[in-house]
Every structure is written in C-alpha cells, then in structure tokens.
Chain A
Amino acid sequence: MTHVPALLVLLPFTAAALCLLLPIRPLVRLFGLVAPWVSLGVAALVLDHVLRVGPLAYAFGDWAAPSGVVFRADGLSALALIVTNLVAAVLLPLLHRDSAAHPPGRTALQSALALAFLGAINGIALSHDLFSLIILIEIMTLATCGLIAAGRIRRSLVTAFHALVFQSTGTAFLLMGTAMLYARAGSVDLLDLAGRLAGANDRATTIGAAMVLLGLAIKGGLFPFHGWLSRTYIDAPAPIAAVVGGIAPTAIAYVLLRISTAVLGGGPSFLSANGAWGLAAVAALFVLAPSALAALQRDIRPVVALLAAAHLGYVAVGAGAINLAGATAGMAVIVAHGVAVTAAVAAIGCLQHAQLPTALDQLGTLRRRSPMVAAALACALFAFAGVPLTVGFAGRWHVALGMIERDAWAALILVALSSGVALIAAARVAQRLLFGPVAPIERPVPFPLALSVPATLFGLATVYFGLNAALYVGLADEAAKLLMRGPP
C-alpha cells in the first residue's frame, strides 16, 4: 500500500506517454478502457485503507514533509479521489465511441490527453503541497484544452482558446497568491503552511490568501467566472464537455475546500475576519446571483451552466463557515456535483447531438425521444436545487447547519432564498419536460452511447445517493473532523 499514492499519478502519465510513443490501435484502446477502471479500483482500495487503518502518505525520494514533496491520502482526499474516478471510469472509456471526441487519426493523441487528465485529477486529490498542486492543476488545464480542441472544428477551437485564457489567468492568480503566502510563511507544504499561518492576519497574508482563492474560483468556474464552462457545454464535442464539466470543477472544488478550511481557516481567512457578513456576501455572489439568473433563462444550456455554478458556490459557502458542518457540507456538495453535473451535461449533449431544440419551450420533444434522459436531466436539476431525496440535499442541509452554528443568519436567509430560486428554475425545466408540446421528429438521430449511458447512470445515481445519503455523509463527517483538527 505504501507506493499506491505515487502509482495513482505515475501510471496514468506513463500510459499517456506510451500512447504517444507506441500508437498501436489495440494498445491505445486497451489503455483507454482499462486505465480508468484500474484507477477507480485503486481509489477504492485507498478509501478502504483510510477508513480501516488511517491516512496514507508517500514521500518522494524519502524526503520528509516540509522540505520534500509528499502525497497524502486522508478522508477528504479519498472521497475526492473516489468521486472524480467514478465519473472518469464511466466517461473516459466511452470517449472513443464518439467520432467528434475521437476524430479518426487522432485516437492516440486523444487517449493520451484523457490519461494525462486522469493522472492529473488523481494527483490533485493526493498532492499536499501548493506548488505541486498548481502544477497538476495546470496539467489538467492543458489536457482539458487539448481534449476540447479535439475536433479541430472552429467553434471548439475558439472554446478551447477561451478556456485556456480563463484558466491560465486563474493559474497566474494562484501562483501570485502562493508566492505571497510563501514569502510570509516560508513553506508550501499544506500542513506546514497551516501551522505557520495560524493566527496570521497581516495584509500580505490576507491578499495572498485572497488571490489563491480567487484563482481557484476562476479555474473552478464559480459564478462570475463560469463563462468558459458554459461555452464548453455548448461548443465542445459533447462527451468531452461531460468530462470537463463533471470532473474538472469537482477537483478544483476539493482544492478550494481543503485550502480554505485546513490551511487558511486558522489564520488569515478574511471570511473569518468579517464573520457573518463576509459569509453573506459570499452566499449572495456565488449562490444567489447565478440561481436567480438561471430562473430567467429561455434555453436549457445556460440554465444548467448557471445552476451548476451556483451549486459549486455552496462549497465556497460551506468552506467559509469554517466549522465541522460547513466542511461536511463542502464534501457532500463535491460528491453531489460530480454526479449531477455529469448527468445534466451528458443529457444536454444528447439533445445537441440529435439536433433537438434546446429552447425551454420545446423541451417536451426530449420526453418523447428518450424518457430516461429527460428524467435524468430533471433529477440533476433538482439535485442542484437541493431537493430532498436527491443527492443535492445532504450538502444543503449541512450548509444550513454550518450557518446556524456560526450565527450567520443573513447568509442562512440568502442560502434558503437561493435554494428556492434554484427550485423555481429547475421546476420550470421539469414542467416543460413533462408537459411541453412534442414536436414531430422526422428522422430521429440515435443518442450516442457515450452520452446516453452516462446520463442515465448518473441520473439514477442522483436519486440513489439521495436515498442512501448515509453512504457518503458519514464518511464526509469523519473526513471533516480530521480536516478541522488541523496540523498535529
């Protein structure tokens, strides 16, 4: 077990390099098919080990923590690892079935990019030092842009370019923030940094922390910065959009949660400095604004993009509470996000692929075309709204608990209000899906397997995990306790 954290990252990268060096079709296919499932299996082993024995750590070259690079797997890491790998294991092996995502002649390159993406998300979940985190996030970004640009169609090229500019700006903020925190504390190891920053409240630390969080918000596509993600949903090849939308923001949300609670929570967090009012501002910006905008849209694609951005905003709100319930909420939201976004984006992909109308008023056609995909889309949107019996509820409940515990009543009211508004947005879509007029379809295009299977599976998962919330809430609670205990 000792080498597992390193292997989870190194093996996909090696496989990616092999795909490019030995572009033999069966070999590339085999890697593309097997690697995500092996990775999921190993992630399950890591989770099991963390639950039974305790956190895993792997120090590269036996250099111990503050001076060396260490990969650690604690509860939160294991949870993020499982969620991202679960989504990846369903989506990545199906990529090559879609000709837009895997244009002929580019199979080796696309597989290599997908494997590099897999290695990067594993690394993000395991890496415990700010600098290697940034490097792995950047690898994920570049792989994302390559995947989006797959078809070499102009629209996806422009989308890839905008994704690159947005994300690279985020990287610059992250790097600048890291530089400032490093100048203040002299360390980039997360545990070490948490200890050194405890109680620090000077201006440099505050600005550095703000820049790190802003960079993560840009890269994760939180509300005012969600433009590149919503473009991706619309203009990238649909299966790629599901991969990028379902996995990348989930991984970034994990980093946001870890850094803002475990590292900055003890010291310079301006959220803790400004207390309840800071939280209210975060809730209004990241959650209420996008939910309200989503309720006004006339097309399904911006509704999904805005509701997803709002849903991710709850990670920021939960993390801002800096208490046990808030951290638990953040983790529950991360689980819900991976599942629900994948279902929603894959369902939109089905619509676009079959050239069905995406306007809200004409969504009834989807019900006739495929009831399962329509149901999956509705379930995903209700999960974003935090309706009970869907996967979104547990996160919402714990966010509310975290607010109450902090006496942040203004934020609590805003959160409740935005849940209501998001519910209106979701109900508008569901009403059109159920009762909207059905336009006749002349030559129905079959939904591609790469999209209908993930949409259906994750649509079911939103309900399954909603009914069996104990599966991950208990784990999230344990992980949150470990996270909040801080450095030993």
Chain B
Amino acid sequence: MTLASVTFHAAAAAIFATGLFTVIARGNLLKKLLGLLLLHVSVWIVFVAMSGTPASPDGATIANPLPIAFTLIAIVLGTTAMMVGIDLALRIRASAVSVEDDEIAAHELKS
C-alpha cells in the first residue's frame, strides 16, 4: 500500500464514521441528509482510490476505468436519494414549520 492509498482510505473511514454519527445523532432533518451525503462521499473516495492502484491481477499501472464507472453510478445513487430527501424535508417544513425532529413531533401532538 502506498502512502496515497493509505491517506485516501483513512479519509474515507473518517468521513464514513462522521456521516454515520450525524445520521444517528442529529435530530435536524437536513443535518441527517448531510450525514447521509458524507456516508456516500466516503464510498466514492474508496472507489476513486481503488481506480488509481492496479486492481487487476496482471499488474497494469494505468487507471482502471471500471471503478471510475462505479463511482459515477454511486454518485448518481447518492445524489438522487439526497434530492428526494431534500424535497421531502421541504414539504415537511411547509406543513410542520420545522425541520427539527422533536419540533415536528410536538407539532404532531398539537394538531
């Protein structure tokens, strides 16, 4: 493992952990979505790191196009989920006047 690859993977691990923590611990819907985005970003980083190192057993040193294609697909998956999530959060805000979990619950009790 080269230094670059170690750096990439360490960064990905840190971002993944941060994202998971944000998704679980934050009550704000938009912060939850940002956590989700971090989770997905860490996956993209892992794929990009992989495409630089020879993943094929024959030891070719050119960049491997397949992980890059995977990265693009993973970006599409992550951003579509993000778009749907933001749309839902906006609609929730329109009807509950908040994007905080506990305030929405309070609103629910009132109505």
Residues of A within 8 A of B (CB): 131, 134-135, 138, 141-142, 145-146, 149, 152, 154-155, 157-158, 160-161, 164-165, 168-169, 171-172, 175-176, 179-180, 182-183, 186
Contacts and interface: CB of A to CB of B under 8 A. Distances in A.
Contacts of B14: none
A161 B85 contact: yes
A241 B107 CA distance: 24
B104 A158 contact: yes
Given A165-B23, A172-B36, A182 B16 contact: no
Contacts of A154: 92, 95-96, 104, 107-108
B81 A168 contact: yes
Interface string B41-62: 0110011001000011100000
Given A164-B81, A165-B36, A179 B88 contact: no
B88 A164 contact: yes
Interface string B71-111: 00110011011001100110110011000000010011000
Contacts, number: 92
Interface in B27-44: 29, 32-33, 36, 39-40, 42-43
Nearest to A149: B88
Nearest to A196: B57
Nearest to B104: A158
A176 B70 contact: no
A154 B99 CA distance: 12
A183 B8 CA distance: 14
A270 B19 CA distance: 26
Q: Which of B16, B70, B77 has the most chain A CB atoms inside 10 A of its CB?
A: B77
Contacts of A165: 23, 32-33, 36, 85
Contacts of A142: 80-81, 84
A176 B46 CA distance: 8
B85 A179 contact: no
A171 B20 CA distance: 12
26 contacts: A131-B73, A138-B77, A142-B81, A152-B91, A154-B96, A154-B104, A155-B108, A157-B95, A158-B92, A160-B88, A161-B29, A161-B92, A164-B84, A164-B85, A165-B32, A165-B85, A168-B39, A168-B40, A172-B16, A172-B42, A172-B43, A175-B40, A175-B77, A179-B46, A179-B70, A182-B67
Contacts of B23: 165, 169
Contacts of B55: 182-183, 186
Majority-rule SS of A interface residues: helix
Contacts of B39: 168-169, 172
Contacts of A145: 84, 88
A135 B43 contact: no
Contacts of B73: 131, 135
A47 to B, nearest CB: 31
Contact of B16 (A138, A164, A176): A176
Q: Which of A141, A161, A171 has the most chain B CB atoms inside 10 A of its CB?
A: A161
Contacts of A183: 46, 50, 55
Given A176-B46, A179-B46, A171 B81 contact: yes
Nearest to B45: A179
A134 B77 contact: yes
A119 B35 CA distance: 30
Contacts of B88: 145, 149, 157, 160-161, 164
Given A154-B95, A164-B88, A186-B55, A176 B81 contact: no
Contact of B43 (A138, A141, A158, A179): A179
Given A131-B70, A165-B32, A182-B70, A138 B81 contact: yes
Contacts of A186: 55-57
Contacts of B77: 134-135, 138, 171, 175
Contacts of A157: 88, 91-92, 95
A2 B67 CA distance: 30
Contact of A161 (B46, B57, B80, B89): B89
Given A154-B96, A179-B47, A146 B84 contact: yes
A176 B33 CA distance: 18
Task: Enumerate the 5 nearest inter-chain pairs by beta-carbon distance, A residue then B residue, closest first.
Answer: A172-B39, A168-B81, A175-B43, A154-B95, A161-B88
Contacts of B81: 138, 141-142, 164, 168, 171
A203 to B, nearest CB: 13
B41 to A, nearest CB: 9
Contact of B19 (A131, A155, A172): A172
A155 B95 CA distance: 10
Nearest to A141: B81
A202 to B, nearest CB: 13
Interface string B1-36: 000000000000000100110010000010011001
A179 B19 CA distance: 18
A145 B91 CA distance: 13
A157 B36 CA distance: 18
